[in-house]
Amino acid sequence: MSESSYFLILSSVEKLCIFKPKTSRLSSYLIHWNISDASLGTEELAHLEMVSAIVYQLTRNLTEEEIQKSGFAPYFVDHTTGIYPTDANGVPFSASTFSVAGDAITDIHEDMAAEQKARTTYDNILRFCDDPDVRDPIKFLRQREVVHYQRFGEGLRIITDHLDSKNFYAFNPEFDRQNRRKS
């Protein structure tokens, strides 16, 4: 990969250095999969760790000239080569990234969208990168996003199976409990 490509890849990889939102009430539905919120969170943190390791490996031995040529200098001034999670525009990670509406249907759609956004970002990184040491873990992470999306889709089906099927959107299933279908 050319030196000038480092910044482009780095910006895209940094965009991934956020925690995806997870449904606040998903635990009661995840029991069907025999997984917990903790295992989901652990896997998402592992994604962050893998992406951070890639960024570290791409930047750890940069020379001053490479830093200048690649456009990495503004980041370097503030963070040297330390890992500081930001999006591709340089906006730092914050708790505002998490989005929970308190409605299981709304929240799981948010989760599914987050998985697809991450998959798209990984796809875009793969378009610009020819380094197998970057491509291989990114391909792995991309596949995990696909699997997560599928599992959340199954979770959505499980959630809606427990609701009044006449109109899922007539009430908030987390707040208006009287409208839940009796199992």
CA gap 87, 12 in Å, rounded: 8
The pair of structure tokens assigned to 135 is 């491509």
The pair of structure tokens assigned to 102 is 């308190």
User: Is there a binding annotation on residue 115?
Assistant: yes
Site of tokens 């979770």: 155
DSSP state of 173: T
CA gap 171, 162 in Å, rounded: 13
User: Is there a binding annotation on residue 79?
Assistant: no
Q: Are 93 and 85 in contact (CB under 8 A)?
A: yes
The pair of structure tokens assigned to 65 is 């000239």
Enumerate the known binding-site residues for Mn(2+): 44, 47, 115, 148
Enumerate the known binding-site residues: 44, 47, 115, 148
